[in-house]
Chains A and B, each alone.
Chain A
Amino acid sequence: MKNKSIKFLGFCLLLSSASLVVGQTVSTPVVGFSKESLPSGQHFFAPSFIKPAVYSGTATISGSSVTGLTLSGSLGLTSFSDRPNFPTHYLEITSGSYAGTYYDISSNTSNSASLAQTPNTSGSVTVVIRPHVTLGDVIKADSGIGEYSDSISVYDNSGNFASYYFAGGMVTGDDFATPMGHVPVPPGKGIGINLGGNIQITNSGQVRNTALNVPVYPGAVNVVGMLNPSGATKLTSLTLGQQLDAYSESATLYDSSGSLALVAIAYSDGQDPTDDTFTPYNSTTSPSVQTKGTMLVNVGSAKYITVPPATN
């Protein structure tokens, strides 16, 4: 890493100490925070921390409905009348073959939730429900972001993106007035940032200790972030080779100097990630997604890219 310095200040140690509580193994999440300097210029950036769960346990999925939960308060969309509303929480499946797949919550009662998408699985599973990380969590006034001038891009699933700015000490829409700090940054997804000067992003939260399935879509700007807040991720440590269609779909890696200089375009031979001559990478030759960095994934059909956990 050349121009992007990261100071990972704390895996402040509620570390994975396993203890027996009433006959049940309880694993305490790893938490920490980081300060990352982004130089002036253009970046794709993904927060790697997650927020504490508001529910963790078993549930029954039927279509887009989930029952058997114990919830309090509203976990659905925000309910502003003067600005667009967005999901506030997501449900992630943590058991079975769909573990690591997540869905936005549209609405909920005290014991059930409706999902914005229909999972491909049904029946009894274990799940976790967490609040989304938002633009307001990522970009704060003390980051040094330039008011009115610096911009943030958030990408949808169909190739469009919305632009947000910072004015009056908050994230706003392109009118520089409407508060938009509640826009979610979905797990494993990145945002675009265009900076006139250097900023420092301070993030904190829990570190994921399980793999994540990040949804990617054809024609969309799929910015896929890594989960490791303190180290680079080699492409060969991903299952990218099996998940990208051979010889057509790709993952593009950029540097973090602010110039978005191309580091590598990786393809797949159906098994391993390859370079642009379709020579498979090995652990020595593999390029890395830089610390808290991202890759741009170009796919011909909707699918998931599995990102490994930060801690194993």
Chain B
Amino acid sequence: MNPLKRITLGLVAILGLVVDSRASISITIASPNTTSGLIYQSDGTSLNTTGFARVGKITGTIDFSKSAVNWANYQYWNNIFSDVNGSVGQGSTPSTWNFNSSGALSGSATGVSASAFSNGTLLYLWAFNYGSVTAGTYAAGGSFPVFTESDFTSGLVTQWAILQADEWTAPADNLSKSLVINQITPTDTRQIIAGTDVGTGVAMVPEPSTGALMMIGAAGLVALRRLRKV
């Protein structure tokens, strides 16, 4: 076969493969049971059903110093975070990423673009203590950010957790992936970017003022104990 014909036929073949570009993946998140893989409030109490989660990839270098909960840091993370469904319409079926009353997280996103989340892309969970997403209200193609500055200044969004596990990678085209909360390595600060391991799950980090008050309180208790000893 002459080379020109081969090239022409090759182009025909490439065009014939357009179908493959429709490939999608599916992402599911799992808290295996009611006693492990849970997301807690910063004080260790159950998150219950009020909470919100985003699952996606992070583009660019992560600045680990921006883990504190505030509007500026939210904007930083929001700018580098691409949800598996939502902002660029990746998910044909929106996820419900819901918390149950124990703080167990569940949900699936199907029809996620395999080209936007190529095989091996690290996936992250960004969980909040505010917002309650139910099926149908979080439409594919919906806009982000889902929170506004007033959500922070008015004290609604006061805690979050940003998590990742080595196993949390996007699958190959036309396959599924389950992100299991228990797969997070508690001692790995690269995986618990914001949050605290509490054995049966991860507690969110509080907003700095709350955290500072808690530290002051703890310091006061220590001082009081010392005074009493004297």
Residues of A within 8 A of B (CB): 42, 147-153, 155, 159-161, 163, 165, 167, 174-176, 192-194, 196, 218-219, 221, 245, 247-250, 260, 267, 276-279, 298, 300
Q: Out of A153, A176, A248, name the residue touching B174 (CB < 8 Å).
A: A153
Residues of B within 8 A of A (CB): 1, 6, 9-10, 12-13, 15-17, 19-20, 22-24, 26, 28, 30, 32, 106, 108, 110-111, 119, 167, 171-172, 174-178, 180, 182-183
In the docked arrangement, what's the CA distance between A194 and B5, Å?
A: 40
Kindly list chain A residues whose C-beta atoms are within 8 Å of the C-beta of B110. Answer: 160-161, 163
- 24 sample A-B contacts, Cβ–Cβ < 8 Å, listed by A number: A42-B171, A148-B30, A149-B30, A155-B174, A160-B24, A161-B26, A163-B26, A163-B110, A165-B28, A174-B26, A175-B106, A194-B177, A221-B23, A221-B174, A247-B9, A250-B17, A260-B119, A267-B13, A277-B1, A277-B6, A278-B1, A278-B6, A298-B19, A298-B20
In the docked arrangement, what's the CA distance between A57 and B67, Å?
A: 70
In the docked arrangement, what's the CA distance between A147 and B17, Å?
A: 35
Question: 12 more A-B contacts (CB under 8 A) besides A151-B171, A218-B19, A277-B10?
Answer: A42-B119, A148-B30, A149-B178, A151-B175, A152-B176, A153-B174, A175-B106, A196-B167, A219-B19, A221-B23, A247-B12, A250-B16
Q: Total A-B residue pairs with C-beta atoms closer than 8 Å?
A: 102
Q: Give the interface SS of chain B, mostly helix, strand, loop or mixed.
A: mixed
In the docked arrangement, what's the CA distance between A176 and B119, Å?
A: 24
Are the C-beta atoms of B175 and A153 separated by less than 8 Å? Answer: yes
Q: Out of B32, B167, B172, B182, name the residue touching A42 (CB < 8 Å).
A: B172
Decide: A148 near B176, CB < 8 A? Known: A298-B17, A298-B20: no
Decide: A163 near B28, CB < 8 A? Known: A192-B175, A276-B10: yes
Kindly list chain A residues whose C-beta atoms are within 8 Å of the C-beta of B20. Answer: 298
Are the C-beta atoms of A276 and B13 separated by less than 8 Å? Answer: yes
Are the C-beta atoms of A194 and B13 separated by less than 8 Å? Answer: no
Decide: A192 near B174, CB < 8 A? Known: A148-B180, A250-B16: yes
- Smallest CB separation, B4 vs chain A (Å): 13
Of chain A, the residue at the smallest CB distance from B5 is A278
In the docked arrangement, what's the CA distance between A161 and B110, Å?
A: 8
| Chain B CB within 10 A, most for which of A148, A176, A249 | A148
Kindly list chain A residues whose C-beta atoms are within 8 Å of the C-beta of B28. Answer: 151, 163, 165, 174
- Smallest CB separation, A55 vs chain B (Å): 35
In the docked arrangement, what's the CA distance between A159 and B21, Å?
A: 11
Kindly list chain B residues whose C-beta atoms are within 8 Å of the C-beta of A277. Answer: 1, 6, 10
Are the C-beta atoms of B6 and A165 separated by less than 8 Å? Answer: no
- Smallest CB separation, A299 vs chain B (Å): 8
